């Protein structure tokens, strides 16, 4: 294996690329991406030369058998591959092909709920006395026939569905087709730990864990309290706090149980989808012993509820960085992303004034300059934006009560041909702007793709960026600036201007030249103790 990172620290020093398997590369013309397609595109991600993107690992959104009510986040068999994507043999080949290139492979582990078509749930719902009854949450209706508590599902509506067969309700934090597994039942825990071992034995390097913080709930499933910040007109599903269904104190014990399984396998790692306050996210690392998750996602940069205006504001960005730094335990590091399969893409999200692409460029330097493990989302490296989907082509069932997620899940745009190099058939979701493709950007030094390649390469060449501490600077209004420093290594100053006018950044004596920037004109304007940053630009200074 060509190992460009220091062995088992891949998850600490590497850059991980999230693939939404349905949308990366189709090889059989059915319009749906597949594992063979990912294998065929691995050289694009990392072929060991400067021509490839240069990432270190891949996280695949779920690839397991599933009725696809939530596009794979409703798993009906944790130990196999959905036929749309391939089979176990294709997965084994994907693992081997990744490892040949020094790429790590993380699968998506969905512990909170299965599909209602999983044999466990089919058994569980069949009778009050079925041995699997307690593998899920079944409760009597209230005397008036209403659901057992007031919880609101993440996708809206009650978290409870009444089942005629036994006259009880079952709990689902998401869609009714996604019943919650009961992690207070040791048999469930053992079965789910077995799932982790099954894939780790096959050679995967770890997992992204879906909604980690919801796995354990209040033992009595007590009502959730009202959200004091909610005002009429806000989304009804945010009317209650999630106090008794998310980040409940003993969820951290479930995390430690998972970690113990992961530790049976040398070099494996887990990153959790975690939400809540900074302190809550920090706790997922397991405190001083660091016996929790290796990494816990911090989504504060992409919080959908944030008005666009404050989302790209230096005060806000500086605050997120310092809060995250202050709340991860010593020896751990934050984990950030600007895009994923659940949120509008940054190039569109921050495009209210037509400057989305510029902000996306600056975000690349920010993300890869921060102390933490960066996660990129396929297509981000070419500046893909959200795609307007005609009503009749919408797919995401969660859209019924929430903003749908189809716009950020459209196929990867490899070239400008009719099938975008993605498929020879008709794609499961429509394509975006035909001007935004890998082919068009490969040879263009000014393209987003070239920028990402440069930044990824620079990061890899800089021990301070990969491993150094982070010190915030007070560099002036509308400026985010920090220094990454490591004993005996050249420090790197990362700075960005969030304003639409130029800003002067105080950089201090030691820093003398712009090593990398979003805007090639910056080099000429750099002088001594200050650097003039053009509107929305970002730089690395040595
Ligand atoms: C996570 C996933 C999302 C999914 C949900 C339920 O938030 O990222 O896509 O719908 O969990 O599994
Ligand atoms: Ca296919």
Q: How many residues does the chain have?
A: 542
For the chain, give me the number of helices (H) and strands (E)?
15, 19
- Per the listing, tokens 């005996």 go with 488
The span from the CA of 519 to the CA of 72, in Å, is 40
Minimum mean pLDDT range among 327-331, 349-353, 364-368? 349-353
The span from the CA of 1 to the CA of 19, in Å, is 22
Q: What is the mean pLDDT of residues 47-60?
A: 95
- Residue 470, beta-bridge partner list: 484
Q: Confidence class of residue 246 from pLDDT cuts 50, 70 and 90?
A: very high
Pocket of ligand 1 contains residue 174 by CB under 6 Å: yes
Q: Where are the alpha helices (DSSP H) in 27-159?
A: 35-40, 42-45, 88-100, 119-126
**pLDDT attached to residue 4:** 47
pLDDT tens per residue, range 294-315: 999 999 998 755 555 568 999 9
- Rounded to whole angstroms, the maximal C-alpha distance in the chain is 77
Q: What is the mean pLDDT of residues 356-381?
A: 98
pLDDT over 90 percentage in the chain: 89
DSSP 281: H
Ligand 2 centroid to residue 22 C-alpha, Å: 8
356-369 and 448-461 helices cross at what angle (nearest 10)?
10
Residue minimizing CA distance to atom 7 of ligand 1:
211
Q: Provide the 3-class DSSP secondary structure of residue 130.
A: coil
The span from the CA of 30 to the CA of 148, in Å, is 43
**pLDDT attached to residue 460:** 96
The span from the CA of 182 to the CA of 193, in Å, is 14
Measured in degrees and rounded to the nearest 5, phi and psi for residue 463 equal: -55, -35
Q: What is the mean pLDDT of residues 391-396?
A: 93
Q: What is the mean pLDDT of residues 57-79?
A: 98
The span from the CA of 328 to the CA of 57, in Å, is 23
Q: Provide the 3-class DSSP secondary structure of residue 319.
A: helix
**pLDDT attached to residue 403:** 81
CA distances from 300 to 103, 497, 534 (A): 28, 19, 26
Ligand 1 centroid to residue 41 C-alpha, Å: 25
Please give the domain boundaries of the chain with CATH numbers for all domains. 10-113+192-460 (3.20.20.80), 468-541 (2.60.40.1180)
Q: What is the mean pLDDT of residues 37-55?
A: 96
Strand order across the 514-517 sheet: 469-472, 479-485, 492-497, 538-541, 514-517
**pLDDT attached to residue 311:** 82
**Residues 264, 288, 388, 501: which is the catalytic one?**
264
CA 121 to chain centre: 28
Pocket of ligand 1 contains residue 73 by CB under 6 Å: yes
pLDDT over 80 (residue 186): yes
Burial class (CB in 10 A: 0-12, 13-18, 19+), 357: middle
Ligand 2 centroid to residue 317 C-alpha, Å: 40
Q: Confidence class of residue 497 from pLDDT cuts 50, 70 and 90?
A: very high
- Residue 379, beta-bridge partner list: none
pLDDT over 80 (residue 513): yes
519 catalytic? Reply is no
Q: Provide the 3-class DSSP secondary structure of residue 95.
A: helix
Ligand 2 centroid to residue 483 C-alpha, Å: 45
Counting from 1 in the atom list of ligand 1, the atom nearest the Cα of 398 is 10
Pocket of ligand 1 contains residue 70 by CB under 6 Å: yes
pLDDT tens per residue, range 247-290: 999 999 999 999 999 999 999 999 999 999 999 999 999 989 99
Counting from 1 in the atom list of ligand 1, the atom nearest the Cα of 70 is 10
Per-residue b or e along 13-25, where b marks 16 or more CB atoms closer than 10 Å to that residue's CB: bbbbbbbbbbbbb
Pocket of ligand 1 contains residue 155 by CB under 6 Å: no
pLDDT over 80 (residue 525): no
pTM above 0.95, yes or no: yes
Using most ligand atoms within 8 A of CB, pick from 68, 70, 181 the residue to mutate for ligand 1: 70
pLDDT tens per residue, range 151-184: 999 999 999 999 999 999 999 999 999 999 999 9
Pocket of ligand 1 contains residue 297 by CB under 6 Å: no
456's CB contacts (< 8 A; 6+ apart) are 15, 53, 54, 55, 368
**Residues 56, 108, 116, 210: which is the catalytic one?**
210
Counting from 1 in the atom list of ligand 1, the atom nearest the Cα of 342 is 9
Token pair in block for residue 131: 């041995």
pLDDT over 80 (residue 5): no
**pLDDT attached to residue 377:** 98
Whether 161 and 406 have beta carbons less than 8 Å apart is answered as no
**pLDDT attached to residue 305:** 54
190's CB contacts (< 8 A; 6+ apart) are none
Ligand 2 centroid to residue 65 C-alpha, Å: 15
Residue minimizing CA distance to atom 5 of ligand 1:
73
The per-residue pLDDT of the chain, averaged, comes to: 95
pLDDT tens per residue, range 447-471: 999 999 999 999 999 999 999 999 9
Pocket of ligand 1 contains residue 208 by CB under 6 Å: no
**pLDDT attached to residue 424:** 98
**pLDDT attached to residue 389:** 94
pLDDT over 70 percentage in the chain: 97
Ligand 2 centroid to residue 116 C-alpha, Å: 25
**pLDDT attached to residue 529:** 81
Pocket of ligand 1 contains residue 325 by CB under 6 Å: no
Nearest one of 531, 475, 410 to 32, comparing CA atoms? 410
Q: Which ligand is nearest to the CA of 28?
A: 2
264 catalytic? Reply is yes
Q: What is the mean pLDDT of residues 209-220?
A: 98
């Amino acid at each position: 294996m060509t190992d460009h990172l220091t062995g088992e620290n891949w998850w600490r020093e590497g850059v991980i690329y999230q693939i939404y398997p349905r949308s990366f590369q189709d090889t059989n013309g059915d319009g749906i991406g597949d594992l063979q397609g990912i294998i065929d595109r691995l050289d694009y991600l990392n072929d060991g030369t400067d021509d490839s993107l240069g990432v270190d690992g891949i996280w695949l959104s779920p690839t397991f058998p599933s009725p696809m009510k939530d596009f794979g986040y409703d798993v009906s068999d944790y130990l196999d591959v959905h036929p749309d994507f391939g089979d176990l043999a294709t997965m084994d080949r994907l693992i081997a092909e990744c490892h040949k290139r020094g790429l790590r492979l993380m699968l998506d582990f969905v512990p909170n709920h299965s599909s209602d078509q999983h044999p466990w749930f089919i058994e569980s719902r069949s009778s009050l006395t079925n041995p699997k009854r307690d593998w899920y949450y079944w409760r009597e209706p209230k005397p008036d026939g209403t659901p057992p508590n007031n919880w609101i599902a993440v996708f809206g509506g009650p978290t409870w569905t009444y089942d005629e067969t036994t006259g009880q309700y079952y709990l689902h934090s998401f869609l009714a087709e996604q019943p919650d597994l009961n992690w207070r039942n040791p048999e469930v825990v053992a079965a789910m730990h077995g799932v982790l071992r099954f894939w780790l034995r096959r050679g995967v390097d770890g997992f992204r864990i879906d909604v980690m913080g919801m796995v354990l709930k209040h033992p009595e499933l007590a009502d959730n309290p009202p959200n004091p910040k909610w005002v009429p007109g806000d989304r009804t599903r945010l009317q209650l706090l999630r106090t008794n269904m998310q980040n409940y104190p003993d969820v951290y014990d479930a995390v430690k149980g998972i970690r113990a399984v992961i530790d049976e396998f040398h070099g494996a790692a887990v990153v959790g989808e975690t939400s809540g306050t900074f302190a809550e996210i920090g706790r997922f690392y397991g405190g001083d012993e660091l016996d929790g998750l290796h990494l816990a996602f911090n989504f504060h940069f992409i919080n959908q509820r944030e008005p666009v205006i404050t989302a790209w504001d230096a005060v806000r960005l500086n605050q997120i960085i310092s809060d995250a730094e202050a709340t991860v335990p010593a020896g751990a590091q934050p984990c950030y992303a600007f895009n994923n399969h659940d949120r509008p893409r940054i190039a569109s999200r921050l495009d209210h004034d037509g400057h989305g692409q510029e902000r996306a460029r600056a975000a690349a330097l920010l993300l890869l300059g921060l102390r933490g493990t960066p996660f990129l989302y396929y297509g981000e490296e070419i500046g893909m934006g959200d795609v307007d989907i005609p009503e009749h082509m919408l797919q995401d069932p969660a859209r019924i009560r929430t903003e749908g997620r189809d716009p950020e899940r459209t196929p990867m745009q490899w070239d400008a041909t009719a099938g975008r190099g993605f498929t020879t058939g008709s794609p499961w979701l429509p394509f975006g702007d035909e001007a935004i493709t890998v082919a068009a950007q490969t040879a263009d030094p000014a393209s987003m793709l070239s920028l990402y390649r440069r930044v990824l390469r620079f990061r890899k060449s800089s021990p301070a960026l990969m491993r150094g501490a982070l010190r915030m600077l007070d560099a002036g209004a509308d400026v985010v600036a920090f220094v990454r420093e490591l004993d005996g290594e050249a420090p790197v100053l990362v700075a960005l201007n969030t304003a639409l006018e130029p800003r002067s950044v105080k950089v201090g004596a030691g820093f003398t030249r712009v090593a990398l920037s979003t805007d090639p004109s910056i080099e000429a304007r750099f002088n001594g103790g200050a650097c003039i940053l053009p509107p929305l630009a970002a730089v690395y200074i040595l």
